[in-house]
DNA sequence: GGCGTCACGCACCGATTGGTGCGTTGGTGG
DNA sequence: CCACCAACGCACCAATCGGTGCGTGACGCC
């Protein structure tokens, strides 16, 4: 597994080494709802570029949190693995806290408008 | 509140805008156990530099997650605010996941040896 | 056949993050 | 008076991250 150190000062430090960065947990949170196509992820997270989405998905596959399924119609879909599913409590906790905190700070949470496909 | 956008695509994105970066959540996880002095934090997280610890504590104070208490003996102690306490579930979830995942991947979690003060 | 889409890769770049080294002020102890 | 500690700030730098722009091959559609 590339990039992992052999030793960490605490489990949170270790978690963040695997999950850190601007977009990984956002991607995982999307996939927590249901499996998604690449293009759906792209549209769901408009501020995230093509290049970084590909890279982050690759990294998440590499550590076994996400898997890709090539369908018959040639479209790739991504979903959480069992291991990735074990992150549900982390992702839900971040979601819940963010929601409450946004209400407190009057920050707007506005998913991008869905588009037909 | 510096740096916050007015709108986010989802609550997880918002959470990470406040909590992102290499050390904030590690610091918060330490303070979740109990209030700590600056020097104790420094020693508990040896890879974290003076400069960055000061900066991150400042930022966490600024968003109201941490407060500092100046004691009679002139030593400053840091602790989570009530708002910071609301992060317990996030921090505990990251801790638990990291612990389980480290066991799976045979990664060592080794807190720095405690020193007498 | 040409065009558009999909899902990538590559080169390059800007911004940010984190670290080092040094300095500061105030306090304490020898 | 000096040394050390605590808790910062500042300048500078290296590394990393994320984005842009462009290219690619495969595929589908007109």
Look at residue A90 in the predicted model and tell me its pLDDT. 97
Look at residue B70 in the predicted model and tell me its pLDDT. 80
Fold of A26-105: Arc Repressor Mutant, subunit A (1.10.10)
Which residues touch A41 (CB under 8 Å, ≥6 apart)? A27, A30, A31, A48, A53, A57, A78
Mean per-residue pLDDT for A35-39?
93
CA distance A79 to chain B (A): 18
Mean per-residue pLDDT for A10-33?
95
Look at residue A1 in the predicted model and tell me its pLDDT. 44
Both structure tokens of A64: 């076994």
When pLDDT is cut at 50, 70 and 90, the band that residue B4 belongs to is confident
Per residue in B22-43, pLDDT (tens digit) is 999 999 999 999 999 999 999 9
Using DSSP, how many helices (H) and how many strands (E) does chain B show? 6, 5
How many Å does it take to go from CA B76 to C1' D4? 18
- Any chain B CB within 8 A of the CB of A101? yes
When pLDDT is cut at 50, 70 and 90, the band that residue B63 belongs to is very high
The class level of CATH for B23-105 reads: mainly alpha
Per residue in B81-90, pLDDT (tens digit) is 999 999 999 9
CB nearest B10 (choices: A9, A15, A26): A26
Question: Closest Cα to residue B96, out of B32, B52, B41?
Answer: B32
Q: Evaluate if the CB of B117 falls below 7 Å from strand C.
A: no
Look at residue B115 in the predicted model and tell me its pLDDT. 54
Query: Does the structure show a pLDDT above 70 at B116?
Result: no
Which has the higher per-residue pLDDT, B96 or B114?
Answer: B96
ipTM of this model? Answer: 0.91
In order, the DSSP letters of B66-106 are: EEEEE-TTS-EEEEE-HHHHTTHHHHHHHHHHHHHHHHHHT
Cα–chain-centroid distance for residue B63?
13
B46: which chain A residues are within 8 Å (Cβ-Cβ)? Answer: 9
Per residue in A55-111, pLDDT (tens digit) is 999 999 999 999 998 776 678 899 999 999 999 999 999 999 999 999 999 999 988
């Amino acid at each position: 597994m590339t990039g992992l150190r052999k030793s960490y000062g605490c489990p949170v430090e270790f978690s963040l080494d695997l999950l850190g960065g601007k977009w990984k947990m956002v991607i995982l949170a999307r996939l927590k709802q249901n499996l998604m196509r690449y293009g759906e992820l792209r549209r769901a997270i408009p501020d995230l570029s093509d290049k970084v989405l590909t890279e982050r998905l690759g990294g998440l596959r590499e550590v076994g949190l996400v898997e890709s399924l090539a369908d018959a119609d040639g479209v790739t879909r991504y979903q959480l693995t069992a291991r990735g599913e074990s992150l549900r409590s982390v992702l839900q906790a971040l979601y819940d806290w963010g929601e409450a905190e946004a209400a407190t700070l009057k920050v707007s949470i506005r998913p991008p408008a869905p588009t037909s496909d």
